[in-house]
């Protein structure tokens, strides 16, 4: 079992130990003798690395050793790229007497590094899917592998590629081994993001500053994240777990679509809030990962607001590498479509994930083609919003169920057909006053609170001393309620841990 952010062990043991130890060491660094030692051996950084490795090893002790060896490999490849790049070595390719192209030799260790860094992800996450596809296509009977996927392997892989590519592009240096170890193991982001680029992280390692404002903001963000996860996401998830998709009425079926839509958002947004808050307390500023995506009026806008760090990573390292929008309209559309298909593949090994990515790819390509058309420009915003949310509402079911027949069962139930088993409980059993109230709060929190007018109104209130104290009191009460929910609930992992 991993040490989740919303467990008593993390909140009341690990987190206080890390914070107290970190600020104790930071206080010691103010002493002249310790400060001189820290220039050669950064004690606060070493302490956080040790805590991060313990956090990672909690789920499986051997994983810590594998992660350490993996980081040693990535760091060595980064030094190799940096060394060749510093020498400026290149090959000259002659396409014709009049056309020459330089290929820098650092390109080769970069691709060797990307392949080696990506291999564990492919091996652990996609081996059985590839075996299943091979057996289906060729009638073979290759045996499946019994594999335990290392925790956070997707996000560690993305960070490793960022590390190697930023060095290759000259946007960052390789840094020290401790810097690389710190970046790839940093516990707020190691398991499920947000995905922080190496060039952003490296610039903050030696510039960390602590203040009462940053600490307070970080604690507030953690409390908000715990409330989102424990009170909202886990409650929605518990309700969904009670409902049999083969025996539900039409209203219950439609409600499952809404509940899963909200659960997925508050689960991952809550995790991101906690990670951002933890990092802020420790002196790091992570970019926002969610910006009220359920206010979007197009699929393209949705992906500018949902899992922003993933979108930025794909843009920086895949889209731009493919040529971005520099090579004409058709290639731009091809690159966009490929990004979303790859995003589907990243989310999981299964045809449902590929189909989910393909649906979003198609929507983004169509939106790009019709964006400047008069009929689209004149389409009311309300219609665009309803169309976008309908696509999101339905497409999430492709992530919820690996078996496409289950997706069909739910959608048929929404249309009022296809349910053959007797219905034991109607929607009134599942959607009581508590569930309906939390659902309305969840919908409002994911939409209304993102309004600029509401943001301005809220900012004006908390800018006053009374308003700020009232905010802190409300957050504290909500956090205590979340703790009570957590103590009385069963174990509920973050959904995105599986990706």
Residue 369: per-residue pLDDT: 93
Residues 203 and 219 placed together within one structural domain of the fold: no
Residue 3 lies in a domain: no
**pLDDT higher at 149 or 202:** 202
**What is the mean pLDDT of the segment spanning 425-441?**
92
**pLDDT higher at 267 or 144:** 267
**pLDDT higher at 37 or 358:** 358
Residues 75 and 101 placed together within one structural domain of the fold: yes
Residues 107 and 231 placed together within one structural domain of the fold: no
**What is the mean pLDDT of the segment spanning 350-370?**
94
pLDDT surpasses 90 at 92: no
Residue 105 lies in a domain: yes
Residue 183 lies in a domain: yes
Residue 22: per-residue pLDDT: 94
Among 192, 208, 224, identify where a domain stops: 208
Residue 268 lies in a domain: yes
Residue 459: per-residue pLDDT: 92
Residues 163 and 250 placed together within one structural domain of the fold: no
Number of structural domains in the chain: 2
Residue 477 lies in a domain: yes
pLDDT surpasses 70 at 417: yes
- pTM of the shown model: 0.92
Residue 2 lies in a domain: no
Q: Which residue, among 416, 385, 391, has the nearest Cα to 254 in the 3D structure?
A: 416
Q: Which residue, among 270, 262, 316, has the nearest Cα to 444 in the 3D structure?
A: 262
Among 208, 228, 252, identify where a domain stops: 208
pLDDT digits (tens, 9 = 90+) for 267-322: 999 999 999 999 999 999 999 999 999 999 999 999 999 999 999 999 999 998 88
pLDDT surpasses 60 at 1: no
Residue numbers of the domain that contains 191: 8-208
Residue 143: per-residue pLDDT: 86
pLDDT surpasses 80 at 38: no
Residues 200 and 290 placed together within one structural domain of the fold: no
Residue 191 lies in a domain: yes
Residues 223 and 184 placed together within one structural domain of the fold: no
* pLDDT classification of 146: cutoffs 50, 70, 90: confident
Average pLDDT, the chain: 89
pLDDT surpasses 60 at 203: yes
Radius of gyration of the chain (CA): 25
Residue 327: per-residue pLDDT: 79
Lowest mean pLDDT among 102-106, 108-112, 167-171, 329-333: 102-106
Residue 196: per-residue pLDDT: 96
Show the tokens assigned to 29: 């660094």
Residue 32: per-residue pLDDT: 62
**pLDDT higher at 34 or 338:** 338
pLDDT surpasses 70 at 99: no
Residue 29: per-residue pLDDT: 75
Residue 206: per-residue pLDDT: 83
Lowest mean pLDDT among 53-57, 119-123, 319-323: 319-323
Residues 257 and 166 placed together within one structural domain of the fold: no
Lowest mean pLDDT among 81-85, 195-199, 305-309, 387-391: 81-85
- Please state the three-class secondary structure of the chain as a single string: CCCCCCCHHHHHHHHHHHHHHHHHHHHHCCCHHHHHHHHHCCHHHHHHHHHHHHHHHCCCHHHHHHHHHHHHHHHHHHHHHHHHHHHCCEEEEEEECCEEEEEECCHHHHHHHHHHHHHHHHHHHHHHHHHHHHHHHHCCCCCCCCCCCCCCHHHHHHHHHHHHHHHHCCCCCCCCHHHHHHHHHCCCCCCCCCCCCHHHHHHHHCCCCCCHHHHHHHHHHHHHHHHHHHHHHHHHHHHHHHCCCCCCCHHHHHHHHHHHHHHHHHHHHHHHHHHHHHHHHCCCCCCCCCCCHHHCCCHHHHHHHCCHHHHHHHHHHHHCCCCCCCCCHHHHHHHHHHHHHHHHHHHCCCHHHHHHHHHHHHHHHHHHHHCCCHHHHHCCHHHHHHHHHHHHHHHCHHHHCCCHHHHHHHHHHHCCCCCCCCCCCCHHHHCCHHHHHHHHHHHHHHHHHHCHHHHHHHHHHHCCHHHHHHHHHHHHHHHHHHHHHHHHCCCCCCHHHHC
Residue 1 lies in a domain: no
Among 166, 186, 208, identify where a domain stops: 208
Residue 377: per-residue pLDDT: 92
Residue 36: per-residue pLDDT: 62
% of residues, the chain, pLDDT over 90: 65
The span from the CA of 120 to the CA of 124, in Å, is: 6
Residues 237 and 163 placed together within one structural domain of the fold: no
Residues 226 and 191 placed together within one structural domain of the fold: no
pLDDT surpasses 80 at 31: no
Residues 162 and 39 placed together within one structural domain of the fold: yes
Residues 177 and 217 placed together within one structural domain of the fold: no
Residue 193: per-residue pLDDT: 81
Residue 491: per-residue pLDDT: 54
Residues 389 and 245 placed together within one structural domain of the fold: yes
């Amino acid at each position: 079992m991993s040490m989740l952010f919303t467990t008593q062990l993390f909140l009341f043991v690990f987190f206080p130990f890390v914070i107290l130890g970190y600020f104790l060491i930071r206080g010691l660094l103010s002493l002249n003798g310790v400060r001189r030692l820290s220039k050669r051996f950064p004690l606060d950084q070493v302490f956080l690395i040790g805590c991060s490795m313990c956090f990672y090893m909690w789920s499986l002790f051997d994983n810590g050793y594998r992660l350490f060896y993996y980081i040693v490999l990535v760091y060595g490849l980064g030094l190799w790229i940096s060394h060749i790049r510093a020498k400026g070595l290149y090959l000259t390719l002659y396409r014709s007497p009049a056309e020459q192209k330089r290929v820098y030799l650092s390109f080769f260790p970069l691709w060797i590094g990307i392949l080696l860094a990506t291999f564990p992800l492919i091996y652990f996450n996609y081996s059985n899917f590839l075996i299943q596809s091979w057996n289906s296509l060729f009638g073979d009977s290759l045996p499946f592998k019994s594999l335990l996927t290392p925790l956070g392997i997707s996000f560690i892989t993305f960070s490793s590629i960022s590390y190697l590519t930023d060095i290759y592009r000259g946007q960052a240096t390789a840094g020290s081994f401790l810097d690389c170890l710190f970046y790839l193991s940093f516990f707020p982001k190691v398991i499920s993001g947000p995905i922080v680029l190496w060039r952003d992280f490296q610039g903050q390692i030696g510039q960390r500053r602590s203040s009462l404002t940053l600490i307070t903001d970080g604690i507030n963000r953690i409390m908000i994240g715990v409330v989102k996860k424990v009170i909202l996401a886990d409650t929605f998830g518990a309700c969904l777990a009670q409902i049999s998709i083969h025996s539900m009425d039409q209203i219950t079926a439609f409600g499952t679509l809404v509940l899963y839509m909200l659960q997925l958002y508050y689960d991952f947004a809550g995790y991101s809030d906690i990670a951002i808050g933890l990092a802020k307390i420790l002196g790091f500023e992570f970019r926002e990962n969610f910006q009220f995506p359920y206010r979007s009026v197009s699929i393209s806008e949705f992906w500018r607001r949902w899992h922003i760090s993933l979108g930025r990573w794909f843009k920086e390292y895949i889209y731009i590498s493919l040529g971005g929008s520099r090579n004409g309209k058709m290639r731009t559309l091809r690159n966009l479509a490929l990004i979303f298909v790859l995003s589907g593949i990243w989310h999981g090994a299964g045809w449902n994930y590929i189909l989910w990515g393909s649906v979003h790819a198609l929507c983004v390509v169509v939106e790009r083609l019709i964006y400047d058309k008069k009929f689209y420009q004149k389409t009311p915003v309300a219609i665009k919003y309803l169309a976008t949310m309908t696509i999101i509402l339905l497409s999430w079911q492709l992530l919820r169920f690996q078996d496409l027949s289950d997706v069909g069962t739910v959608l048929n139930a929404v249309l009022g057909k296809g349910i053959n088993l007797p219905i034991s409980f109607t929607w009134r059993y599942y959607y009581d006053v508590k569930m309906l109230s939390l659902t309305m709060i969840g919908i409002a929190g994911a939409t209304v609170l993102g309004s600029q007018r509401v943001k301005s109104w809220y900012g004006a209130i908390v800018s006053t001393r009374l308003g700020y104290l009232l905010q802190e009191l409300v957050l504290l009460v909500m956090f205590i309620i979340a703790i009570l929910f957590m103590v009385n609930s069963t174990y509920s992992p973050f959904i995105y841990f599986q990706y």
